[in-house]
Amino acid sequence: MSETIHIQDQKFQLHPLGGLLWVERSMLLISDVHLGKVSHFRKFGAAVPRKAIHKNYVLLDKIVSDFQPFQICFLGDLFHSSLNKEWELFENWVGKTPAEIILVAGNHDIIDPEKYAQLKIEIFPELIIDGFLLTHHPEEREDLFTFCGHIHPAVKLHGSGRQKLRLPCFFRSKNQLILPAFGEFTGTYTMEPSKHDEVYAIVEDTVVKV
């Protein structure tokens, strides 16, 4: 179940897979998919199941099906490293996805831009749209509200009996919202929210404000 929030008179739907839909623009924002990471680690001998390669594409299909956006904007680290065999899977996914796709480059996005151009994917260092800054690294800029990723935010919850649970989350401060990592094979960074921050944890198939 998604959670709806409002920022600057615009509506955003937070999806439990980790992306969000900017409703008025029909734009799906997704960060830190890290495609190719499984293949990269397998190449160097890590015992990662081959079936994990396909999981990200299943999740991408799911969120696109749920929101049916006009445009998909990846907020950096779409691919984890250099070109590998997973690029062909990505080409196939792009070919069957009806939405326009754009990429805001992150620090891991080192694949030749010409490869993206062949798929009609335009790359930007950042985007400013209607008072919103779309970028990869967290950055608070005057008169703009930022959507970004990079950190892979998570929150630690404490229960009775010394129980602790760490969950990926959307992390909102006054002028910024950090998206969780979309990719399955990624780590997380535990955030320490202040009383002014808002945290939307992902609990199985639900987004919950905590």
Whether residue 188 has pLDDT greater than 70: yes
Are 96 and 48 in contact by the 8 Å Cβ rule? The answer is: no
Whole-number pLDDT of residue 52: 64
Provide long-range contacts, Cβ within 8 A and 24+ apart, for 44-52: 48/185, 52/184, 52/185
The overall longest dimension of the chain from CA atoms, in Å, is: 55
Are 120 and 154 in contact by the 8 Å Cβ rule? The answer is: no
Backbone angles phi, psi at 200, to 5 degrees: -115, 100
- What single letter denotes the amino acid at residue 76? G
pLDDT tens for each residue of 94-153 = 999 999 999 999 998 999 999 999 999 999 999 999 999 999 999 999 999 999 999 999
- N-terminal to C-terminal alpha carbon distance within the chain: 15
- Domain at 3-209, CATH class: alpha beta
Whether residue 43 has pLDDT greater than 60: no
Are 132 and 126 in contact by the 8 Å Cβ rule? The answer is: no
